[in-house]
Amino acid sequence: METILKNDLILRAARGENIERYPVWLMRQAGRILPEYRAVRSSLSGFKELVETPKYAAEVTIQPVDILGVDAAIIFSDILVVPEAMGLEYQMIEQKGPWFEKTIKSEADLHLAEVDFDIEDRLGYVLEAIKLTNKELNGRVPLIGFAGAPWTIFCYMVEGKGSKTFSESRKMLYTNPTLSHQLLDRITNVTIKYLKAQIKAGAHMLQLFDSWAGILGTDQYREFSLKYIQKIADAINEVPLTIFSKGAINSLEEIALSKCNTIGLDWNMDIAEFRSKIGETRTIQGNLDPCALYSTHTQIESLTNNLLDSFTSKRHIVNLGHGVYPDVDPDKVKTFINTVKQYNIKY
């Protein structure tokens, strides 16, 4: 039996229904900004133990709901659980980021990216964390599930680590487009199964993160990223879907044609301009500069109100334009959230 949600504001905003006020949450809200998170994290062997232990993942997922008062929880996990489930194990190296021992460089490596496996078997820990979180949230707010967009996951599977240019991954688009599409297809198939499993486990809403969208020109973005995002969007009908393609400024209108509910904007994108182009067809999520939270409380109130004043529609979910930076004072985050909550919608 499904628990009835006491606060379904973000779901109504995503569907373009009536809302009393704008809903607000933060990308990376469960994480290093909270001392309560750091306490849990430091009691464990590392980041991966936290991701892989449903009890702890649920605990840090709920922390920002209790402490910050956000209108949604987002399951604590990592986009890299998908390539790992496909067969490429990763390590999270402190101060450096992810590192994969095996990578996909040629056709001979393609078999390393498995596609026919049981999601419950390899990613059951995420599904368990979703169930546990919902049980403990008891309907206080909706729970957001997520995955990386295929292009972004492709970058890690080819490159094996973070990069400024991801030139190895972009190189493959030129030197071996066939292999590129084969790998992107595999990632897409697994991602659809994984997101469907998240919905079944209880995710009320989903977000696709295309963190490296901005390194592709418009044509390559269309062929190697958006095409696969659209396949996923076509397959997900049960819950609202948000697409966040960081840096894809030139492709926003095309992204908005996908069968999704919400488009996330980064802090360099112009909400008013985008709204004028897409009208009321989609909800817009974002996009305060995460660095604005380094300002004084008074400045944060003013910057947040300016952002909300720029809206000309109800179809908004308020968020930062990027994940909250780890050294931001949680009290500053509260000021941002409370300012949004106190704001009177004009429409």
Q: Given candidates 28, 122, 170, 315, which one binds a copy of itself under the rule CB under 8 A?
A: 170
User: Which of the ranges 28-36, 118-126, 216-224, 237-245 carries the binding residues for a copy of itself, by CB under 8 A?
Assistant: 216-224
Q: Given candidates 20, 217, 309, 331, which one binds a copy of itself under the rule CB under 8 A?
A: 217
Q: Which residues contact 133 (CB under 8 A, 6 or more apart)?
A: 57, 58, 61, 62, 73, 75, 143, 202
Instruction: Please report which helix (H) or strand (E) contains residue 172, including its range.
Output: helix 167-175
Segment 240-279, which members bind a copy of itself (CB under 8 A)? 247, 249-250, 267-270
Q: Given candidates 39, 110, 272, 291, which one binds a copy of itself under the rule CB under 8 A?
A: 291
Q: Given candidates 215, 226, 255, 317, which one binds a copy of itself under the rule CB under 8 A?
A: 215
Please provide the size of the chain in residues.
347
Q: How many CA atoms lie within 13 A of 138 on its CB side?
A: 2
In angstroms, the Cα distances linking 254 to 143, 157, 214, 265, 280 are 27, 26, 14, 14, 15
Q: Is residue 104 a contact residue for a copy of itself (CB under 8 A)?
A: no
Q: Given candidates 182, 254, 294, 312, which one binds a copy of itself under the rule CB under 8 A?
A: 294
Q: Is residue 95 a contact residue for a copy of itself (CB under 8 A)?
A: no
156 in active site? yes
Q: Output 138 or 167, the one with its CB closest to a copy of itself.
A: 167
Q: Sign of dihedral through CA atoms 259, 263, 269, 270?
A: positive
Selecting among 37, 56, 90, 156, the annotated active-site residue is 156
Q: Output 143 or 324, the one with its CB closest to a copy of itself.
A: 324
Neighbours of 315 (CB within 10 A): 25
Neighbours of 218 (CB within 10 A): 13
95: which DSSP letter? T
Which position has the token pair 């095996």? 102
Rounded-to-integer distance, Cα 286 and Cα 319, Å:
4
Q: Given candidates 3, 106, 167, 281, which one binds a copy of itself under the rule CB under 8 A?
A: 167
- Rounded to the nearest whole angstrom, what is the least distance from the CB of residue 173 to a copy of itself in the complex? 7
Q: Residue 55: which of 44, 66, 71 has the closest Cα?
A: 44
Cβ atoms of 81 and 88 within 8 Å: the answer is no
Q: Output 165 or 342, the one with its CB closest to a copy of itself.
A: 165
32 in active site? yes
8 in active site? no
> What is the x/- site pattern for a copy of itself, positions 22-41, by CB under 8 A?
--------------------
Contacting residues toward a copy of itself, per CB under 8 A: 162, 164-165, 167, 170-171, 173-175, 214-218, 220, 247, 249-250, 267-270, 289-292, 294-295, 299, 322, 325
Supply the residues annotated as catalytic: 28, 32, 41, 78, 156
